[in-house]
Structure 1
C-alpha cells in the first residue's frame, strides 16, 4: 500500500500541517496509508489521538521518513531533516522554489521528486489544488484582523449618548485573492473601504464588494498595449504618474492600509514610500503582506512591527499560520486534491505522467536532477 507521510514542522512560528485528521479518512478511502510523525498537528490543535482515531500510524521522524512514498509539507524541509528518506519519494507541497537554489540542489542529491504546488498554473483544473490562493485568502483576512488590534480606534461607525464615532477608513492596495478578502473583511467590520490595483479592470471587482475603487480615469493614449488573457495592458507614463499622485493623496487620509502585491520569483514592487507614510495620521497602521519578498512598504521588516512617523508598519509573514486550523484544513485539501487527481484506482498507485501540464509545471527535481526548465537555467547560470 502506498504510504503518505507528514513530518512535524521545524520552522519557528509555523503552526500549520499538511495532513489533518479529516483528510486521513479521505486518503484511506482512496487507498493510501497515512503515517504521521508524532506532534505533526499539535500546533494547529490536531492531536496524535485524533489522527490515530482516523486510522493513521503515529511514528517518530525516522520511521515517517523511512516509510514515506509521498511526503507532504507546508514549508520546505531543511535537507538535513530528510536524511533517511528513500530515493524516489515524492515531496509535495509548499517548497518556496525561488527562495534557495541550494536547497533545490540538495533535494535532487537526496533523490526525492520535489513538486512545488506554488507553481501550479491559475487554471480551472488546478483551482482546487492551489495552495497560494487558499492561503492568500486567509492572509488577507488576518491582515485586517491584525491591523484592527493595532489601530488606535474602532472600525465601525457608532452612535452613542456621548456622540457619534465616524467609521475608520481602510485602503487595500492589490486586488488579488488576499486583497479581495481584505476588502471583504474590513467591510464586514464596518470600515469605509477603498482599493486600487495596477489593473484598472479590477474596478468592478472592488465595487462588487462594496468598496470604492481608486483609479484615475483612462484617457486617449493612456494604454500602450492591449490587455491579454485577463491581465492589464501596459499603461502610459502619464497615466502612471496621475495614478501615483491620486493614490498618494488618498493614503494620507487613511487609518489602515493593507498592501498585497507579489510577483513570483521577483522582489515585491514598492507601493508606499517613506514620504507617504509621513503623510498619514499618527496612530495609523500599515500591514505589508509582501514583507518576506522585499516589501511593498519602505521600512517594513519581515516578521516585525516598526514605528515610522507615528505610523505602525507590520511586516506580516505568518497570517495563515495564525488561523492554523482553517489554514491547515484548506492546505491539506489542496494536497489531497492534487494527489487524488493522479491516483490510479484500479492499480492503487500514483500515475503522474511527465508530459502532463500540471506535473510539468510543479516538478523541480527527478532522478537526482533539477528538471524544471526555469531552475535548470538558473542553476546553469
Structure 2
C-alpha cells in the first residue's frame, strides 16, 4: 500500500497533505509513504523531518506518485498532475466540486477514485475529519489578525495619562465556525464585538462568547436552519429587513468581518457599496467569502481595495496564511479518513463502499462521476 504526498502545484497553496506526525501514523497502518522533496517547506517542514518519520523522498511529482495506491493532496489535481497517477488510485483532497463538473469528469475518465474531504457528513464520528471546520477555524482567527493589522489603531480600550483610547468595534457577519472563532479572537484582543447570523441557534453561541447578537428575530428567522445545521437562503422580504438593520449597524463599526457561505452557491451579498461608504475613514472590511464571489460588493479576490478611505480585504486561501497550523490540522483530518479505508489486520486498503463516509465523499469511481449531486443524471434533472 503506497501513499504519495506530492508538492501542491498551485503557487498560492502553501499547505501540505501530511506532516511527520501523520506520516508516522500512516506507516503504522502498514503504508509505504513517499513524499516529494520540498512538499512541506512552505509549511515549515523540512524533508529530513519526513524521512525521520519513515517516509521516502522522491525528486519529482512523477516519481512520487508512480504506482501509488493513494494520493493525498490539499487541492484537486490538474489533468497534468493526474496523468501520472495509476488507474484505480484513490485521490483524497479538497476537491471544490461545485461548478467544476468537467474536472470531475476528467478524473473519472482517468480511472481515479476520488474523494472530496469537504463533503464529509456532519456526524459525530466524522468530526475529526471535518476539513471545513478545521480550516474555517483558522480563517476566522486570521481574519481578525488581518483586520487589526489593516485598521492601524489599537483594538482594546487603553487608559493612559494622555487620555483614553476607545475599544475598536468589530462586527462579525455569519456565526459558523469561522465567525465564532473571529468573535472569540476579537474579544481576546479587547474589541467590543457584535455578530449576526440567520440561524436562531447562533444567538446563544454568539452571546456565550460575550458578543451582542444583531438580527431581525421574526417567525422566518426562527425557521432559518437546515437539518444539516447550515443556514437557509432567506426570503427577499427578510433580507431587506435584515439589510436595513445591518446597514444602520455597520455605519458605526471599525472592523466588519464577513463569513457567510451557502454550500454550492455563490456567497450572498451582505455589504453593499453604500454600506461601505457609510463607514468611517480608516475602517476595515475583511471578506472571508471572496473566493465564492464575496459577501461585500466591493471586494476583489487576492486584493486589498481602498474605497473612500475604507479598506476591503479579500485575501485568497486565508487558512493558508497560517500554513504550518493549517497543514497540521488538515493532515490529521486526512489521516482520520484514510484510517477508515484500511484493514488494520491485513495492513491493506479495504474500502467499505457502503460506509456513509465513503458514500458522502466519493466523487468518481469505475470511470464515472458517482456522487448523486454531481453525476450527469443529476445535472440533467
TM-score when scaled to structure 1? 0.94
Deviation of the 1:333 alpha carbon: 0.2
Contact 1:87/1:110 (8 A) holds in 2: yes
> What's 1:244 paired with?
243
1:342-361 alignment, distance < 5 Å: 342-361=341-360
Which whole-Å CA distance do the structure 1 matches of 2:234 and 2:266 have between them?
Answer: 21
Deviation of the 1:342 alpha carbon: 2.6
Deviation of the 1:103 alpha carbon: 1.3
Deviation of the 1:14 alpha carbon: 1.1
Instruction: Determine helix, strand or coil for the equivalent of 2:103.
Output: helix
Which whole-Å CA distance do the structure 2 matches of 1:57 and 1:226 have between them?
Answer: 50
Moved more, 280-289 or 223-232: 223-232
Which whole-Å CA distance do the structure 1 matches of 2:220 and 2:266 have between them?
Answer: 26
Q: 1:224 to 1:85 in 2, by over 3 A?
A: closer
Deviation per CA, 1:140-184: give whole Å up to 9, x if none: 111111111100211011111111100000000000000000001
Residues 1:307 and 2:302 aligned together: no
Instruction: Determine helix, strand or coil for the equivalent of 2:75.
Output: coil
Instruction: Determine helix, strand or coil for the equivalent of 2:3.
Output: strand
Structure 2: gaps of 5 or more residues: none
Q: 1:227 to 1:191 in 2, by over 3 A?
A: closer
Displacement over 4 Å in runs of 4+: 221-228, 230-240, 378-381
> What's 1:65 paired with?
65
> What's 2:113 paired with?
113
Structure 1: gaps of 5 or more residues: none
1:1-381 alignment, distance < 5 Å: 2-59=1-58, 60-218=60-218, 229=227, 240-376=239-375, 377=377, 380=380
Moved more, 229-238 or 266-275: 229-238
Which whole-Å CA distance do the structure 2 matches of 1:115 and 1:238 have between them?
Answer: 39
Deviation of the 1:217 alpha carbon: 4.2
Deviation of the 1:298 alpha carbon: 0.3
Contact 1:201/1:232 (8 A) holds in 2: no
Deviation of the 1:107 alpha carbon: 0.7
Moved more, 172-181 or 197-206: 197-206
Deviation of the 1:353 alpha carbon: 2.1
Deviation per CA, 1:178-231: give whole Å up to 9, x if none: 00000011111111111000113311100111111112343xx55685866356
Q: 1:91 to 1:236 in 2, by over 3 A?
A: closer
Deviation of the 1:378 alpha carbon: 5.3
Which whole-Å CA distance do the structure 2 matches of 1:264 and 1:176 have between them?
Answer: 13
Which whole-Å CA distance do the structure 2 matches of 1:227 and 1:198 have between them?
Answer: 8
Q: 1:144 to 1:265 in 2, by over 3 A?
A: same
Contact 2:243/2:270 (8 A) holds in 1: no
Which whole-Å CA distance do the structure 2 matches of 1:215 and 1:223 have between them?
Answer: 8
Deviation per CA, 1:92-113: give whole Å up to 9, x if none: 0211111422211111121110
Q: 1:201 to 1:11 in 2, by over 3 A?
A: same
CA RMSD of aligned residues (A): 1.9
Which whole-Å CA distance do the structure 1 matches of 2:323 and 2:102 have between them?
Answer: 29
Instruction: Determine helix, strand or coil for the equivalent of 1:46.
Output: coil
Q: 1:228 to 1:36 in 2, by over 3 A?
A: closer
Which whole-Å CA distance do the structure 2 matches of 1:195 and 1:28 have between them?
Answer: 45
Instruction: Determine helix, strand or coil for the equivalent of 2:241.
Output: helix
Q: 1:75 to 1:379 in 2, by over 3 A?
A: same
Instruction: Determine helix, strand or coil for the equivalent of 2:257.
Output: strand
Contact 1:89/1:113 (8 A) holds in 2: yes
Deviation per CA, 1:271-327: give whole Å up to 9, x if none: 111111110001110011111111110011111111112111111222111111110
Contact 2:143/2:286 (8 A) holds in 1: yes
Q: 1:196 to 1:321 in 2, by over 3 A?
A: same
